[in-house]
Structure 1
Amino acid sequence: MNASVLPYREESLCFGPESRLIATLTLPGDHPDSALPAALTGSAELPPPHPHLHQASRTSAHPAAAGRAPQRRPPGLILLNAGMLPRIGPHRLNVELARTAAAQGVSAIRFDLPGLGDSGFTSSRLSHDEQTRAAIEDAMTLLSRTKHAPDRFLIAGLCSGADAGFQMARDDSRIVGLYMMEPYYFPNRFSNMFRTLRRLREYGMRRSVIRILQKSRFTRRHDPAADSAPVPQAAPEEGVRAAPTPQHFAEDLRSLLGRGVQIKLIYANTLMGHWDMRHHHRHIFSKLGHAPHFDVELVPHTDHVFTRVEARRHLIRGMAAWLRRIETQQHASAA
């Protein structure tokens, strides 16, 4: 396919402290019909690469064009790593989400946090959370220096990426939208039982019994030295994904919604499905009222990383609809 008919253009670059962070910018194409599918667009020459992006700093900003009519620019989209996966996301999900956004006129950046994917470790002595926050701030500055110069931002992430975006939004008013896939999950008293039943269904009775016996202390050889040995502890980065309490999560959601942040939570139907959603609604979502800019969705028949093609297509269509809703509400508030 001729690159000139694509509704976006992409450029990979380095930025941030010591230029150790690696990112891919996905920017809207300059063709007037760039929001249409590529097969329906005409030919247009791609603009030259943007200069001065390789050494972006958080203190720089893009000046507004003189004489331009006061019109609110679309927000920029930031896509974060899902766990230890590189910036393309599971099954190239972040790539598709970024290109979907660019086709609708929204500039996007997907980048690797320090030490993940192509990004190297920095010499910073900041904690992991502080480095993550600084990297997101650098990404916002980088987007603000592009031709489209967004001054507000949306963050999309899966699992730990959703967590990082949520934590960033609590303290930064420039974040006006969160697209959280597989965000914080709060098990209820039946979760362990349902998890066991699901494994019985997946492995079958014979394999399940073998796995239980393999883990049972009655089938292991007794080692007197092991009795006095200390129990090994997981390193902090190998520990269980940290989550706030349901009460704190509800309070933070209420605060963000009160600020006008557009929030969409998307859960995969991986364990108890609608039973989990009822539990979450009772303890969290019911305390938020009926905000029009808040939505919760359960995607059926998929796993934590949305392996099924149809599940990922559902997320991509959901992103497109979410961006259209944000644009509509932006125009309504400006009228």
Structure 2
Amino acid sequence: MRELIQLDARGHRLWGTYHPPPSATRRPVGVLFFNAGHVPRSGHGDLSALAADRLAAQGFPCFRVDLPGLGDSDGPLPDTTAELYQFVCQGGFVDVAGAARAELLRRYALEGMVVGGLCGAATTALYLADREPERTLGVFMFEPEFYVSEQEAHAAGGELATRPEGARRQGALGRVTSKLFSYWGWMRMLTRENEYARLFRFVPFPRQKVLDWLMDWGSLPAVANVPLVRAWQRAVERGTPLLVITAEGKLRDVFFARIHRAALPDLRYPNLRHLRLPGTNHIFTTGGAITTCVEQFATWAAERFPKDDPVSVLPLGSTQRAEERAAG
């Protein structure tokens, strides 16, 4: 069963969906999903809806809320998608997201909330957890983006952005070289998220060696979203339960590995679980990844917030690694 709900948050009327758990198994820990980029609250391939159904069946009251201007919620939006992504990267939705969470905690008498979602939702959730850690029992981040917007990434990572003569280059050759011979262009090609990656599909190419050479593991790249990275550091060191799920070998997976290694000591963190899903894409719509993601999320939530003591945080134990590979 699902219920349509309305929330008043910071002057905005928000629409959302409540997934009530069976009364006999209801836990005092809620789960809140935010929008993935500009996608409505159901998520790509119904990922958020399916995950909320599954967790509700385990006793977690679950909520999917459309933030202002997204899905069913009214509100102002910028003229371009790029501006929206920049707004999300800068934490533009955090205030209203925090107000929505506070109202849900009050209305449903919950002791705390686990927050997150895919892509931009993970960004908003991490910022919120950093701002109000006492109300955040956990954060789940599917394909998190720790870099600035695509346009800013190209500007920061492209050689043409720093050479006046390069800026004057026109035509197809200029566009190709600006993508190939920049940090960002190489990253997208080596993770096969660049239109030029197909050139190397059938040609012997030391992809991993070049990727390792490109990765300066000891420092943050120029395209890093530094405020978000700092929030990540504090969340990990604070001991907040964190679940990260990425598409193995893809751009956000590789970038997350670099960010984590550069931002934190090379230690194991029992509060962090990182699962890498093979054979899928950024939105988990290939390779059966949505099903795997939902199953892994449900398992993590049940382990971290058991029925007999749902608010306490359990250590994952010495056998759990900070980085795991999910079974296909």
**Could you say whether these structures have the same fold, taking a TM-score greater than 0.5 normalized by the shorter chain as the test?**
yes
Q: Provide the C-alpha distance between the structure 1 equivalents of 2:198 and 2:66, rounded to a whole number of angstroms.
A: 34
**Secondary structure at 1:95 match in 2:** helix
Conserved 8 A contact 1:191-1:272: no
Q: Provide the C-alpha distance between the structure 2 equivalents of 1:331 and 1:75, rounded to a whole number of angstroms.
A: 7
Q: Provide the C-alpha distance between the structure 2 equivalents of 1:165 and 1:300, rounded to a whole number of angstroms.
A: 25
Q: Determine the structure 2 residue equivalent to 1:257.
A: 236
- 1:144 matched to 2:118: no
Q: Could you tell me which runs of 5 or more consecutive residues in structure 1 were left unpaired when the two chains were aligned.
A: 1-8, 36-72, 206-241
Q: Provide the C-alpha distance between the structure 2 equivalents of 1:250 and 1:320, rounded to a whole number of angstroms.
A: 26
Q: Determine the structure 2 residue equivalent to 1:117.
A: 71
Q: Determine the structure 1 residue equivalent to 2:246.
A: 267
Q: Determine the structure 1 residue equivalent to 2:41.
A: 87
Conserved 8 A contact 2:12-2:68: no
Deviations 1:227-248 (A, max 9, x none): xxxxxxxxxxxxxxx8523xx6
**Structure-2 change in CA distance of 1:200 and 1:255 (3 Å):** closer
- 1:244 matched to 2:225: yes
**Secondary structure at 1:322 match in 2:** helix
**Structure-2 change in CA distance of 1:138 and 1:301 (3 Å):** same
- 1:160 matched to 2:120: yes
Please state how far the C-alpha of 1:144 moved relative to its aligned partner: 2.4
**Structure-2 change in CA distance of 1:103 and 1:251 (3 Å):** same
Q: Provide the C-alpha distance between the structure 2 equivalents of 1:130 and 1:167, rounded to a whole number of angstroms.
A: 6
Once the two structures are aligned, what percentage of the paired residues are identical? 26
**Structure-2 change in CA distance of 1:164 and 1:274 (3 Å):** closer
Please state how far the C-alpha of 1:195 moved relative to its aligned partner: 3.1
Please state how far the C-alpha of 1:119 moved relative to its aligned partner: 0.3
Please state how far the C-alpha of 1:10 moved relative to its aligned partner: 1.6
Q: Provide the C-alpha distance between the structure 1 equivalents of 2:253 and 2:15, rounded to a whole number of angstroms.
A: 39
Deviations 1:264-295 (A, max 9, x none): 1222235368765653453235x263221112
Q: Provide the C-alpha distance between the structure 2 equivalents of 1:331 and 1:257, rounded to a whole number of angstroms.
A: 20
Q: Determine the structure 2 residue equivalent to 1:300.
A: 278
**Structure-2 change in CA distance of 1:174 and 1:83 (3 Å):** same
Please state how far the C-alpha of 1:305 moved relative to its aligned partner: 0.9
Conserved 8 A contact 1:74-1:327: no
Deviations 1:44-81 (A, max 9, x none): xxxxxxxxxxxxxxxxxxxxxxxxxxxxx532111000
TM-score, reference length from structure 2 = 0.63
**Secondary structure at 2:93 match in 1:** helix
**Secondary structure at 2:51 match in 1:** helix
Conserved 8 A contact 2:116-2:126: no
The one-letter code sitting in structure 2 at the alignment partner of 1:94 is: S
Q: After the TM superposition, which residues 45-84 of structure 1 pair with which residues of structure 2 at under 5 Å, given as runs?
A: 74-84=28-38
Q: Provide the C-alpha distance between the structure 2 equivalents of 1:264 and 1:165, rounded to a whole number of angstroms.
A: 12
- 1:320 matched to 2:298: yes
Q: After the TM superposition, which residues 118-137 of structure 1 pair with which residues of structure 2 at under 5 Å, given as runs?
A: 118-121=72-75, 132-137=93-98
**Structure-2 change in CA distance of 1:268 and 1:152 (3 Å):** same
Further displaced range: 9-18 or 83-92? 9-18
**Secondary structure at 1:16 match in 2:** strand
Please state how far the C-alpha of 1:21 moved relative to its aligned partner: 0.8
Out of 189, 193, 197, the residue aligned to residue 196 of structure 1 is: 189
Conserved 8 A contact 1:79-1:157: yes
- 1:15 matched to 2:15: no
